[in-house]
Amino acid sequence: MQEHITVDGKKIVLVGTVHVSPESVQEVRQAIEEEAPDTVGVELCERRYEIITKKKQWEEQDIVKIIKKGQTYLFLANLLLSNFQKKMGEEVGSEPGAEMVEAVKIAKEHDMPVELLDRDISVTLKRAWNAMGFKEKLKLVYVLLSGFFVDTEEVLEELKNQDIVTELMEELAQQAPGAKKALIDERDQYIASKILESRGDIVAVVGAGHLQGIKSTLQQKEVSREGLESAPSGRSWFKMIGYLIPVIFAVIVGYSFLRGGVDVTLRLLWMWFLINGTLSALGAALALGHPLSVGTAFLVAPFTSLNPTLAAGWFAGLVEAYLRKPTVASFEALRDVRSFKDFYKNRVTRILLVIAFSNIGSTIGTVWALPYMAQLLG
């Protein structure tokens, strides 16, 4: 699927592709060789380009660094999405992103510069997450997890008709308009801007679902990506509650001291520690974490719950990573994670489970402990 546009004398050929289609790979090669453009553009950011073209480097990443940089959930989202694409790609004999790799390969063969057109994936995901409401976030998590159980044969039959991609985009717009804006509309604008700034005539390889949006944006001629290259912090109810928790805790403890003295205060502090720590440790245990990871969750949860910038799962996950450090083979095996059972078998994904379950347990403990402490004073 192609669209030919001319903007101020600049010839633009948009090649819309399906990311797991062998036909798309052939179409990309044919378009570039026939058009002989000055530049070849691909719908990739620097991070995704590294993942696709330097797979070994991605597989050998240090999970400890990922946790410390706060990229745990980004890593998990990438894993779920890439494995879903790989699952479909195996059915048709094509690697996910093969058409992008082919475009880069042909460009290098003909000494054509390659332009990375897409916005950094971490910025896109953060903006999408911040823009969504609670129900939208639940839907997005469900969509990611359902990739493990989807009927690939049915999906592949639909993908034979490339218009299904556009239909999926429209469905996303209805179900999660906040996510749709960041994932689709903003990226259409961003990619169009990069295309217009590229040198000379260009063949731009983009997902079929972006084709019409990019074309429409290009026809506006004046396109800016100002304000689209950063991820402003979202002000959610969860963050506001996170900052209120230590205040509520301090009020309860202070009141208990004034009313009941040291003995009552120590009793409340013990209940806080026991409930919060136990549920966080239970989460780590359900993730089959190392006993020391479970113990870490128990010890740190009562303290991290009072600091909105920290999380018990981070500490439990770091201990798990140090004690059961993933090997290169563990990262290579990420491509074969297909079920929740596989999550437990792989050392990398088990660390992610320890982080997630410990955090969930600590959150439940906080929600339970504070009202219980207040009730004891009643």
Q: Mean pLDDT, the chain, as a whole number?
A: 79
| 161 pLDDT tier (thresholds 50, 70, 90) | very low
The angle at the Cα of 68, spanning 65 to 342, to the nearest 5 degrees, equals 65
- Smallest CA-to-CA distance from 114 within 41, 30, 49 is with 41
**CA angle at 374 for the pair 370 and 376, rounded to the nearest 5°:** 120
Mean pLDDT, range 131-140, rounded to an integer: 72
Least confident span in 24-33, 154-163, 328-337: 154-163
- At residue 59, the pLDDT reads 52
Tell me the CA end-to-end span of the chain in Å, nearest whole number: 69
Q: How many CA atoms lie within 13 A of 61 on its CB side?
A: 20
CA separation for the pair 374, 275 (Å, rounded) = 14
Please say whether the beta carbons of 296 and 319 come within 8 A: yes
Instruction: With a cut of 50, say whether residue 273 has pLDDT above it.
Output: yes
Contact 133, 60 (CB under 8 A): no
What is the band of 156 on the pLDDT scale with cuts at 50, 70, 90?
very low
For residue 149, the 8-state DSSP code is T
Instruction: Tell me if residue 308 falls in helix, strand or coil.
Output: coil
At residue 116, does pLDDT exceed 80?
Answer: yes
pLDDT of residue 366 exceeding 90, the answer is yes
Query: pTM for the full model?
Result: 0.64
Element (H, E) at 10: strand 10-17
In 3-state terms, what secondary structure has residue 59? helix
What pLDDT digit, counting tens, does each position of 82-110 carry?
Answer: 555 555 445 544 555 778 888 888 988 88
Give the three-state DSSP class for 202.
strand
Residue type, 152: T
In whole angstroms, what is the distance from residue 367 CA to residue 230 CA?
33
What pLDDT score does 113 carry? 92
Rounded to an integer, what distance in angstroms lies between the CA atom of residue 67 and that of residue 85? 25
> pLDDT category, 155, cuts 50, 70, 90?
very low
